[in-house]
Amino acid sequence: MATINKNLSEYDKNAIPNTKGFRFGIVVSEWNENITSGLYKGAVEALLENGVAQDDIVSWDVPGSFELVYGSKRMIETQSVDAVIAIGSVIQGETKHFDFVCEAVSQGIKDLNVLTDVPVIFCVLTDNTMQQAIDRSGGIHGNKGTEAAIVAIKMANLRRQTS
């Protein structure tokens, strides 16, 4: 989703489903922690603002974005969550490592969405520069973590409605 002329933190609170009884998981990469901590803060604040109880938010840290897939899978298997938000930040460097990590994480999260009954929300920034990541983790473009939390609520609601 393009961020031009869009603040990632803006949403219509009247369009958000009731969160009573929902339990959310958040798996956070420790790599680029200055970015992922901002995304995490945005996600938690949005969940709480929309009625999710603090006790219904389970958070785990993993070393890097590559490990988000395994962490999300284990959270689904062990924590009885209605949705998982996978939070990471991969910033382009001088090698192809960026391409491999981004591809693996996006495909892994897609696979979890296909293979499990719990939605996993992709909140992984894949930016060219640190400034772009800062701008999207609480900076001038808002917070992708907020947006991911709203998506998680909507997808958990869809899961509930279609069960």
Give tens-digit pLDDT for 133-156: 999 999 999 999 999 999 999 999
C-alpha atoms less than 13 angstroms from C-alpha of 1 in its C-beta half-sphere = 14
Structure tokens at 142: 């808002």
E strands, 10-108, are 24-29, 57-62, 83-91
* Active-site residue (options: 7, 21, 53, 97): 97
Domain boundaries, the chain: 20-161
Mean pLDDT, rounded, for 100-110: 96
Q: Do 126 and 88 touch, CB atoms closer than 8 A?
A: no
What is d(CA 134, CA 129) in angstroms, rounded to the nearest whole number? 9
> What is the architecture of the domain spanning 20-161?
3-Layer(aba) Sandwich (3.40)
- CA angle (11 as vertex; 6, 13 as ends), nearest 5: 165
Residue 7: what pLDDT? 80
Q: Once rounded to an integer, what is the mean pLDDT over residues 155-161? A: 97
The residue-averaged pLDDT of 69-79 equals 98
State pLDDT tens for residues 18-52: 999 999 999 999 999 999 999 999 999 999 999 99
Between CA 62 and CA 88 the distance in angstroms is: 10
Residues ≥6 apart with Cβ < 8 Å to 120: 72, 76, 83, 84, 85, 86, 109, 112, 113
Contact 52, 24 (CB under 8 A): yes
Is 141 annotated as catalytic? no
pTM, two decimal places: 0.94
Distance, CA of 154 to CA of 57 (rounded, Å):
16
